[in-house]
Amino acid sequence: MKLALELALEVAREAGTLLLELQRKPLEIREKTRRADIVTLADGASERLIIERLHAEYPNAAILTEESGLHKGTSNERWIVDPLDGTTNFAHGYPMWNVSIAYEREGEITAGVVYAPAMEECFTAERGSGARLNGAAIRVSEIARLREALVCTGFHPANFARNGRHFATVSDHAQAVRRDGAAALDLAYIACGRFDGFWEFDLPPWDVGAGILLIREAGGTVTRTDGAAYAPGDDSILATNGSIHGELAAVLL
Ligand code: IPD
Ligand code: CA
Ligand code: CA
């Protein structure tokens, strides 16, 4: 049996290649739950490929995915998958989109991949072995003050107003705030030091599974926005390089 990280990497690359191919064809874009929450034919095609490949190698593991939910397993293992994170970016040819695959054993995420095919960047992490970008070790930034920090956020399509207030407040304190539209990649960018902090509300597990392992393995910190311990599925997330964590948490109160 292939090791989880090796398999996740292989499958993410296959899904990425498929997505690049599909991006050149009609995407059949439709609104999923509401305006500003879209899904394309490519989301489903990527998901089907990933489920088939993961299930063939790990037939007992559960698989949790965005488009088809939980595929139950019989072991204490679970794959957590976003087959296309950043669908809106993908549909517009903005390169910030990715395939995110995390592997969890006994409730703990031990391997994760965030692959951004349009930028040929692949972020990987294994618990206890650090985080990597295209094979080279990465670390979070050393920025120590919020006024020097580049911070990112995202918006849940059901409630833009809730985070709008925080977007304005953090903009008043940080060097700048970005909204790049692909949560898993936003987290990966903290792991490699491009962003110094990230927060969002109501993110589901498939958006954060691989990203939080990347950040922790790269020396960063992940909590809820109120500073309490974070678990995938919690209604808020605050991820930083560690140094600006307290300052950013205070601004988000
Ligand atoms: C979305 C993106 C976006 C975040 C949304 C997510 P999707 O994922 O990660 O950055 O703000 O909350 O739903 O729908 O493109 O997979
Ligand atoms: Ca997503
Ligand atoms: Ca998605």
Q: What is the CATH number of the domain that holds 195?
A: 3.40.190.80
Domain stop point among 85, 104, 137:
137
Q: Say which CATH number the domain at 129 has.
A: 3.30.540.10
More confident residue, 35 or 219: 219
Counting ligands in written order, which one lies closest to the CA of residue 96? 1
* Ligand 1 nearest-atom number relative to CA 38: 14
Global confidence as pTM: 0.97
124 plus 240 within the same structural domain: no
Local confidence band at 239 (pLDDT 50, 70, 90 cut-offs): very high
Dist CA 90 CA 78 (whole Å): 27
* Amino acid at the residue 72: K
What are the tens digits of pLDDT across the range 54-79? 999 999 999 999 999 999 999 999 99
Cα 182 to ligand 3 centroid, rounded to whole Å: 9
Dist CA 219 CA 140 (whole Å): 6
Cα 157 to ligand 1 centroid, rounded to whole Å: 8
What are the tens digits of pLDDT across the range 137-192? 999 999 999 999 999 999 988 889 999 999 999 999 999 999 999 999 999 999 99
Ligand 1, residues at Cβ distance < 6 Å: 82, 85-87, 154-156, 181-183, 200, 203, 207
Pairing of strands 38-39, 108-116: unpaired
53-58 contact pairs (CB < 8 A, 24+):
53/7, 53/10, 53/11, 53/14, 54/7, 54/11, 54/79, 54/81, 54/101, 57/1, 57/2, 57/7, 58/1, 58/4, 58/7
Domain stop point among 87, 117, 137:
137
Counting ligands in written order, which one lies closest to the CA of residue 67? 3
Dist CA 161 CA 21 (whole Å): 36
pLDDT of residue 2: 93
How deeply is 60 buried, as exposed, middle or buried, from its count of CB atoms within 10 A (0-12, 13-18, 19+)?
A: exposed
Pairing of strands 62-65, 77-85: parallel
Domain stop point among 74, 105, 137:
137
124 plus 18 within the same structural domain: yes
The residue with tokens 């509300």 is 201
86 plus 161 within the same structural domain: no
Cα 86 to ligand 3 centroid, rounded to whole Å: 6
Domain that holds residue 192: 146-251
